[in-house]
């Protein structure tokens, strides 16, 4: 008699099994996306920069800019919340090339320095700042340097470490940390049934041995909980009759598993990365404060006859340098961009940390794990902030095409998503506070105080977009 309950065979589960059986089709899709990606980043840098009369439909460079920064990356972020990391497992060109290179590489063991948990934050910050230094959203050579450089690094890591693995994706990808945070809200995930897994060992003793699954992103399948590390490639679907694609509550992973998987690096990435450095990157080009500081420093330098910071002889791969477009950074410009982004990131990150820490203190006896758990309630607003910053390129390009109706629609959509993100973050905060209140016996008054501190944190996060939408327009 079979003691194992029948595996849930909903349409969703069958879809996961279909992905497992038809991985050849998925691999073909990966190479098609890689080909399209190569066209978008490799051809425009060797073309003349578009003039004022160039349009999305008539110029490949403008078209590539619109697709990459106006559609591709903003909606990759959005897909993480809806579908989990399907982009990583099914579509990402870097993941495809890294795994392909790993098939023929040295197969070395992964060194400890690669497995350092701080890389997602460091890589995100460095890529964000460097992208602003060379105007990655505006110029194809800069896009090739950043995106192409990341791709080459992924291939090199694949050639050096692992066998049929995605070591780059697991540890070093600049957006791995952001994707992992956003995927925690995906209503889809591959669920591991612990009982079915254990039962499969008894079955294997009598019937057959399970064929091992190659999990390219190095996720320990038996103990996998949540969707933050899973690339949703479908290879493990049906393994040991214990893994299946299923629905779940979008709040489940953060509320129920957030404390267990809490990490100080996740907290740093949320506060100082996505709500700090990213805000600085989106702010500086429209900030009147940036202009005032620049004018003051330029005047002071001229008065003191210190002229070298005003020179514009930096190469394009150090600071933006396109004289034919009347877009050239002096050494002062570039240094101010870096300083402004870092200062803004530190200001927002520290202010938000203060609000969350205050709520943690009010709720009860100080707990670092609770602080990290509480911070995860800010992931929706952090994700939408990055989405809105990237969609600014969409709005700019649509405005250049005089598609004002679409511009208005995209702006309204952005504001609606911002409101929804605030509601989602507050809902998560309430659930987290209630969970800890039951555990530590906090009073209703203390819980209300903690939530007020969280609302203050939401206000600080929203202020970044209030300045852009209503003050600096």
Whether the per-residue pLDDT at 272 is higher than 70: the answer is yes
HSE-CB of 327 using CA atoms within 13 angstroms = 13
Give the mean pLDDT of 240-246. Answer: 91
Say whether both 148 and 269 belong to one domain: no
In a domain, 145, yes or no: yes
Cα–Cα distance measured from residue 245 to residue 191, given in angstroms and rounded to the nearest whole number:
6
Q: How confident is the model at residue 9, as a pLDDT? A: 61
For 341-368, the pLDDT digits (tens) are 999 999 999 999 999 999 999 988 888 9
Say whether both 422 and 331 belong to one domain: yes
In a domain, 322, yes or no: yes
In a domain, 195, yes or no: no
Which residue, among 339, 350, 354, has the nearest Cα to 281 in the 3D structure?
A: 339
Q: How confident is the model at residue 401, as a pLDDT? A: 72
Element (H, E) at 243: strand 243-247
Whether the per-residue pLDDT at 4 is higher than 50: the answer is no
List 327's β-bridge partners, or say none.
322
What is the domain count for the chain? 2
In a domain, 455, yes or no: yes
Whether the per-residue pLDDT at 137 is higher than 70: the answer is yes
For 278-325, the pLDDT digits (tens) are 999 999 999 999 999 999 999 999 999 999 999 999 999 999 999 998
In a domain, 370, yes or no: yes
Contacts of 462-469 spanning 24+ positions with Cβ under 8 A: 462/381, 462/418, 462/422, 464/275, 464/279, 464/282, 464/283, 464/348, 464/385, 465/385, 465/388, 465/418, 467/283, 467/287, 468/282, 468/283, 468/286, 469/415
29: which residues sit within 8 A by CB, 6+ positions away? 90, 91
- Interhelix angle 73-83/379-400, rounded to 10 degrees, is 150
Cα–Cα distance measured from residue 376 to residue 262, given in angstroms and rounded to the nearest whole number:
8
Say whether both 270 and 169 belong to one domain: no
Residues in the chain: 473
* Residue indicated by tokens 């602080």: 371
Which residue, among 192, 207, 241, has the nearest Cα to 9 in the 3D structure?
A: 241
Say whether both 288 and 158 belong to one domain: no
Can you give the C-alpha Rg of the chain in angstroms?
Answer: 24
- Report the 10 Å Cβ neighbour count for 23: 14
Which of 158, 183, 208 terminates a domain? The answer is: 183
Element (H, E) at 13: helix 11-21
Element (H, E) at 303: helix 288-303
Q: How confident is the model at residue 36, as a pLDDT? A: 94
Domain encompassing residue 87: 11-183
Say whether both 351 and 435 belong to one domain: yes
Give the mean pLDDT of 82-96. Answer: 94
Q: Residue 264: helix, strand or coil by DSSP?
A: helix
Which of 183, 201, 220 terminates a domain? The answer is: 183
Q: How confident is the model at residue 210, as a pLDDT? A: 64
Report phi then psi at 161, rounded to 5: -130, 145
Contact predicate 127/150, CB 8 Å? yes
The CA-atom distances, in angstroms, between 429 and each of 225, 364, 462 are: 21, 15, 16
6 falls in which pLDDT band (50, 70, 90)?
very low
Whether the per-residue pLDDT at 443 is higher than 90: the answer is no
For 396-439, the pLDDT digits (tens) are 777 777 776 777 787 888 889 999 999 999 999 999 999 988 88
Cα–Cα distance measured from residue 446 to residue 451, given in angstroms and rounded to the nearest whole number:
9
Say whether both 263 and 402 belong to one domain: yes
Say whether both 176 and 276 belong to one domain: no
Which burial class, exposed, middle or buried, applies to 35 when counting CB atoms under 10 A from its CB (0-12, 13-18, 19+)?
exposed
Say whether both 271 and 148 belong to one domain: no
Which of 137, 157, 183 terminates a domain? The answer is: 183
Q: How confident is the model at residue 2, as a pLDDT? A: 37
Say whether both 292 and 156 belong to one domain: no
Give the mean pLDDT of 327-345. Answer: 96
DSSP structure class, residue 215: -
Contact predicate 262/372, CB 8 Å? yes
In a domain, 213, yes or no: no
Which residue, among 353, 407, 349, 405, has the nearest Cα to 375 in the 3D structure?
A: 353
DSSP structure class, residue 89: I
In a domain, 189, yes or no: no
Whether the per-residue pLDDT at 113 is higher than 70: the answer is yes
For 180-225, the pLDDT digits (tens) are 999 999 999 999 998 888 887 776 555 556 678 889 999 999 889 8
Helices (H), 22-85: 23-42, 60-65, 73-83
Cα–Cα distance measured from residue 181 to residue 254, given in angstroms and rounded to the nearest whole number:
9
* Residue indicated by tokens 């805000």: 279
Q: How confident is the model at residue 472, as a pLDDT? A: 85
Report phi then psi at 213, rounded to 5: -100, 135
Say whether both 272 and 414 belong to one domain: yes
In a domain, 237, yes or no: no
């Amino acid at each position: 008699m079979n003691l194992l309950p029948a595996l849930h065979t909903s349409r969703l589960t069958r879809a996961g099994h279909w992905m497992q059986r038809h991985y050849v089709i998925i691999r073909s899709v990966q190479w098609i996306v890689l080909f399209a990606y190569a066209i978008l980043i490799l051809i425009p840098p060797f073309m003349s920069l578009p003039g004022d009369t160039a349009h999305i439909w008539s110029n490949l460079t403008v078209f590539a800019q619109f697709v990459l920064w106006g559609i591709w990356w903003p909606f990759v972020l959005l897909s993480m919340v809806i579908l989990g990391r399907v982009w990583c497992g099914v579509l990402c060109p870097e993941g495809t090339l890294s795994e392909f290179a790993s098939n023929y590489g040295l197969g070395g063991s992964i060194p400890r320095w690669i497995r350092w948990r701080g890389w997602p934050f460091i890589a995100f910050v460095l890529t964000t700042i460097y992208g602003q230094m060379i105007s990655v959203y505006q110029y194809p050579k800069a896009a090739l340097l950043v995106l192409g450089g990341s791709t080459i690094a992924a291939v090199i890591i694949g050639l050096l470490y692992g066998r049929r693995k995605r070591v780059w994706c697991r540890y070093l990808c600049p957006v791995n940390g952001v994707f992992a945070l956003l995927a925690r809200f995906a209503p889809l995930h591959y669920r591991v049934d612990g009982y079915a897994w254990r039962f499969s060992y008894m079955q294997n003793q009598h019937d057959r041995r399970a064929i091992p699954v190659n999990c390219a992103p190095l996720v320990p399948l038996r103990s996998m909980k949540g969707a933050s590390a899973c690339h949703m490639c479908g290879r493990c679907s049906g393994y040991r009759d214990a893994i299946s694609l299923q629905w779940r509550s979008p709040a489940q992973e953060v509320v129920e598993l957030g404390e267990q998987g809490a990490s100080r690096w996740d907290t740093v990435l949320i506060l100082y990365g996505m709500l700090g450095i990213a805000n600085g990157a989106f702010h500086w080009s429209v900030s009147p404060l940036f202009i005032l500081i620049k004018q003051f420093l330029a005047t002071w330098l001229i008065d003191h006859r210190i002229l070298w910071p005003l020179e514009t002889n930096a190469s394009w791969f150090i600071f933006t340098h396109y004289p034919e477009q009347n877009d050239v950074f002096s050494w002062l410009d570039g240094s101010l961009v870096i300083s402004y982004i870092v200062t803004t990131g530190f200001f927002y990150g520290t202010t938000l940390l203060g609000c969350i820490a205050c709520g943690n203190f009010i709720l009860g006896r100080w707990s670092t794990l609770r602080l990290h758990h509480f911070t995860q309630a800010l992931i929706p607003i952090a994700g939408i902030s990055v989405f809105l910053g990237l969609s600014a390129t969409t709005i700019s390009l649509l405005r250049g095409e005089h598609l004002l109706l679409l511009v208005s629609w995209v702006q309204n959509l952005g504001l609606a998503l911002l409101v929804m993100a605030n509601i989602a973050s507050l809902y998560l905060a309430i659930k987290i506070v209630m969970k800890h209140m039951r555990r530590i016996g906090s009073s209703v008054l203390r819980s209300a105080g903690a939530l007020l501190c969280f609302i203050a944190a939401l206000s600080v996060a929203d202020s970044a977009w209030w300045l852009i939408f209503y003050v600096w327009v």
